[in-house]
Amino acid sequence: MNQEILNRTLKLIEEVYDESMYGENDIYRIKDLIHSVDTNHWKSKQWLVDEFYKLYDHNQGSFYVGGGWYGLLSYLIRNKWEDESLNITSGDIDPRCEEFGWKLFHNSDINFVTEDMTLRDLSEYSAIISTSCEHVEPEILEKFIKSKDSNAWVVLQTNNYEELDSHINCYPDVMSFANWVEPLLKERIYFAGTLRLGDFDRFMVIGK
């Protein structure tokens, strides 16, 4: 992990702890913050950035990250596309994601917003991305994909880790996931792959 991000995460953890003493008591955020930057999430998101960079092939446009959590993916996107002419928006329905996103990645030129990702007008984006499809109901994910501009890219990740209560849209393998996504696309799937992460696999589909 990047040293600076580690330090900011630790500082934020301290803030959450202090807040639990005198204000809102939500110390589970500490665990959630740690999970959000753990090795598996870092690897999964770096994998996305590396593969999508090869396909996107230019440095302008605007990316929308749906269910962006505390912003790690947007940060890694910015590191890959350092040119500020690429706009990055990270949306999450959880209001604390916006607050913590700014605190963790304030100098990465990312626009953090609190919103339901299906309520945003996605037609203006050159790519829509979600690495949290396992948390998103198929009906909502379908709406998300169908809302994009027909020429825009869609980059999606899910996994086969069924055990968690919040994982309501897992797939057994990448082909099952790709077969679900493909009919929703105007063109086709350009990338479908699996990242093995020990106890479970992460699947990624990139298409247009």
Partner 1 sequence: MNVIFVKWGTKYSSEDVNTLYNNLKKYNDKHTYYCYTDNSEGLDKHIDVIWIPSSPRLKKWWNKLRMFAQEFPIEGKCMFFDIDTVIKNDPFKILDQIDFNKLTILDCPWKTDPIYSRATNYDVRIASGVITWTAGNHTEMWENFISNKDYFLRKYKGIDRYIVHENYSYETFPHTYIQSYKYQKEIDYEPAIMTYEEVNFESRNIK
Mapping DSSP to helix (H, G, I), strand (E, B) and coil, where does residue 65 land? strand
Distance from C-alpha of 25 to C-alpha of 172, rounded to nearest angstrom? 37
Verify binding: residue 93, partner 1, rule CB under 8 A. yes
Tokens representing 203? 């699947």
Span from 4-12, 19-27, 51-59, 101-109 in contact with partner 1 (CB under 8 A): 19-27
Would you give the binding string for partner 1 spanning residues 42-81, x where CB under 8 A is met? Answer: -------------------------x--------------
User: Which one, 27 or 189, has the nearer CB to partner 1?
Assistant: 27
Distance from C-alpha of 36 to C-alpha of 151, rounded to nearest angstrom? 31
Would you give the binding string for partner 1 spanning residues 122-161, x where CB under 8 A is met? Answer: -------------x-x-xx---------------------
Tokens representing 69? 């959590």
Q: Return all residues near 174 (Cβ < 8 A) that are at least 6 apart.
A: 192, 193, 194, 201, 203, 204, 205
E strands, the chain, where?
A: 61-66, 86-92, 110-114, 127-130, 153-159, 189-196, 201-207
Q: Where are the alpha helices (DSSP H) in 28-135?
A: 28-36, 39-56, 72-80, 95-104
Verify binding: residue 168, partner 1, rule CB under 8 A. yes
Verify binding: residue 94, partner 1, rule CB under 8 A. yes
Shortest distance in whole angstroms from residue 130 CB to partner 1 = 12
User: Which one, 80 or 143, has the nearer CB to partner 1?
Assistant: 143
Q: Where are the alpha helices (DSSP H) in 107-173?
A: 138-146
User: Residues in contact with partner 1, total (CB under 8 A)?
Assistant: 18
Among 4, 7, 11, 28, binds partner 1 (CB under 8 A): 28
Distances (CA, A) of 164 to 42, 107, 116: 20, 33, 22
Among 57, 83, 121, 165, binds partner 1 (CB under 8 A): 165
Verify binding: residue 107, partner 1, rule CB under 8 A. no
Among 1, 6, 7, 25, binds partner 1 (CB under 8 A): 25
Verify binding: residue 119, partner 1, rule CB under 8 A. no
Cβ atoms of 186 and 173 within 8 Å: the answer is no
Interface residues with partner 1 (CB under 8 A) are 20, 25, 27-28, 32, 67, 93-95, 135, 137, 139-140, 164-166, 168-169
